[in-house]
Amino acid sequence: MREDPLPYMKQVALFEGFSDSELQLLSQVFRVRRFTPGEALAREGDAAPSFFVVVAGIVSVVKEVSPRVRQRLATIGRNRMLGQIPLIDGGRRPNTLEAAAPVIALECIRDDFERLFNANSPFAYKVLDFVVTDLSQRLRQTNRLLEELLANPGRTLSMVYDAFIEVGKSVHETGEFKAAGLR
Amino acid sequence: MDAKLYAKVLALVPLLKPLSPDEVDEIMAISKLLKVRKGVKVVEEGDEAEAMYILVEGSVQVTKMLPGGESTPLADLKAPTVFGEMALIDRERRSASVVTLTDTVLFQVNLQAFNELRARYRPAAFKMLRSIAPTLCGRLRGLNDRIGEFFKNPEANLAELEQQFLNRQLSVPGKPR
């Protein structure tokens, strides 16, 4: 039986400011999904028919560098969205999304979102606003990082060395590639 | 807006295609079409952001000032694309400069007015945001691929970074080698 997403929607900031009747309507396009640690919400390179809103738990964003090497790029928690890039450009999943702790997420199909957007739904507008803001912030952060790297190559190098020593240790000790955050 | 003018605007700025004639009118009311000659600084790093730009024709270079006062190019952009859109989200100062590499045609959108349309949930603003968003995604996908490339061959990339570091040390007078 389909689990009612409404109680979960009420716990998430993205749905704040909407009336009960609006939420009732929106609850028809969201599905409650549960993931156990290590389970993938989505895999890099796959078609991306949906996006997620995290209600509880932690999700790792992982770059599949090669079949044996995986680079964790970020961890995403409650209230955040996942899958914004393919939601906007219709492309494939740029990264694997993997539960790092038990996860409850709300999933929305891209076509349903497009339908809401084309019907001038304030919710779809709010999601778009949210997404554009998030994308811009990520670009700005990356530009800042680039700026730091360019301004201080000595520090960059020592940071990269430290990171690789840690990676080497982790490979040696656990046989697993776990990269440290490069910051 | 009459059909002829509408068609003309859409031909010039295809990003506005999802907008109806009335919605294009709304955007035109807060925008200007500018012809800018080659070699002009359109956006100055550190300035307050008052506009975002759709690059309609030509190309521009994005440059960033390093603490030493030296300017480094970050990217060359070719029409059709968007720049200055980062200011959409906050009132921070410009994070980089933009200089025209050729004679260009720019569609300049006033940010404050655009954000007012956004705050009023006007479809014109959101249809335009929807048009701009894939450009942001393209830039993030590009960065994501570069991260992947780096970790595919970390040793070679590290060696290259080291070389760049050494070259830089050598080129800055007064710094220890």
**CB neighbour burial string for A110-148, b if at least 16 within 10 angstroms, e if fewer:** bebbeebbeeebebbbbbbbbbbeebbebbbebbeeebe
B99 to chain A nearest CA, in Å?
18
> Cα–Cα distance between A59 and A52 in angstroms, integer?
11
Quickly count: other Cβ atoms within 10 Å of residue B77's Cβ. Answer: 19
By residue range, what is the domain housing residue A47?
6-110
pLDDT per residue as tens digits for the range B148-171: 776 677 677 777 767 766 666 555
For B75-132, write each residue's pLDDT tens digit. 899 998 889 887 776 667 888 899 999 999 999 999 999 999 999 999 999 999 999 8
Contact B140 A139 (CB under 8 A): yes
How many angstroms away from the CA of A114 is the closest CA of chain B?
Answer: 11
β-pairing, B51-57 vs A59-66, is: unpaired
pLDDT-above-90 percentage for chain B: 47
pLDDT for res B146:
72
pLDDT digits 0-9 by tens, A18-41: 889 889 988 999 999 999 999 999
User: Looking at beta carbons, which residues of chain B come within 8 Å of A74?
Assistant: none
Q: How far is C-alpha B137 from the chain's CA centre?
A: 13
| pLDDT (tens digit per residue) in A46-73 | 999 999 999 999 999 998 888 888 888 8
Compute CA distances A38 → A58, A83, A105, whole Å.
11, 18, 15
Q: Give the ipTM.
A: 0.76
* Distance of residue B141 Cα from the nearest chain A Cα, in angstroms: 7
Q: Which residue has the higher pLDDT, B86 or B138?
A: B138
Collect all residues of chain B within an 8 Å Cβ-Cβ radius of residue A91: 137, 141
Cβ atoms within 10 Å, residue B131: 18
- The answer to whether A146 and B63 are in contact (CB under 8 A) is no
Closest-CA residue of chain A to B140 = A139
C-alpha to C-alpha distance for B91 and B112, rounded to whole angstroms: 10
pLDDT at B173 over 60: no
Confidence check: pLDDT of A6 > 90: yes
Q: What is the CATH number of the domain that holds A56?
A: 2.60.120.10
Question: Using an 8 Å Cβ cutoff, are A94 and A42 in contact?
Answer: no
**How far is A85 from A48, CA to CA, in rounded Å?**
9
Is A148 contained in some domain?
Answer: no
Q: Are A36 and A58 in contact (CB under 8 A)?
A: no
- Pick the more confident residue, B162 or B32: B32
A48: left (phi over 0), alpha (psi -120 to 50) or beta: beta
Q: For residue A105, what pLDDT is reported?
A: 97
% of chain A with per-residue pLDDT over 70: 78
Report the distance separating Cα A174 and Cα A60, nearest Å: 19
pLDDT band at B141 (very low <50, low <70, confident <90, very high): confident
Report the gap between the CA of B19 and the closest CA in chain A (Å).
11
H/E segment holding residue A152: none
Query: Which CATH number, 2.40.110.10, 2.60.120.10, 1.10.274.10, 1.10.10.10, labels domain B3-139?
Result: 2.60.120.10
Domains of chain B by residue range: 3-139
- What mean pLDDT, rounded, does chain B reach? 85
* Highest mean pLDDT: which range of A84-98, A125-139, B75-89: A84-98
pLDDT at position B139 over 90: no
Name which of B126, B134, B141 is nearest A125 (Cβ-Cβ): B126
Angstrom distance (rounded) from CA A147 to CA B67: 9
Q: Do B88 and A136 touch (CB under 8 A)?
A: yes
In angstroms, rounded to a whole number, what is the distance separating the alpha carbons of residues A58 and A43?
16
User: Is residue A140 situated within a structural domain?
Assistant: no
B123 touches chain A (CB under 8 A): yes
How close are the terminal C-alpha atoms of chain B, in Å?
65
A–B CB contacts, 8 A cutoff, strictly below: 110
Phi/psi for B120 (5° steps) reads -90, 10
Given a cut of 70, whether residue B51 has pLDDT beyond it is: yes
Q: Residue A130: phi, psi to the nearest 5?
A: -60, -45
Does the pLDDT at position B177 exceed 50? no
Most confident of A15-24, A44-53, A135-144: A44-53
Name the domain count of chain A: 1
**Residue B175 DSSP class:** S
Beta pairing class for B81-83 and B51-57: antiparallel
Q: Residue B17 carries which side chain, given as an amino acid letter?
A: K
H or E segment and range at residue A54:
strand A50-56
Rounded CA-CA distance B13/B146 in Å is 30
Q: What pLDDT band is residue A82 in, cutting at 50, 70 and 90?
A: very high
Q: Does A54 fall in a domain?
A: yes
Q: Which of B8-22, B30-44, B87-101 has the lowest mean pLDDT?
A: B87-101
Nearest CA in chain B to A94: B141
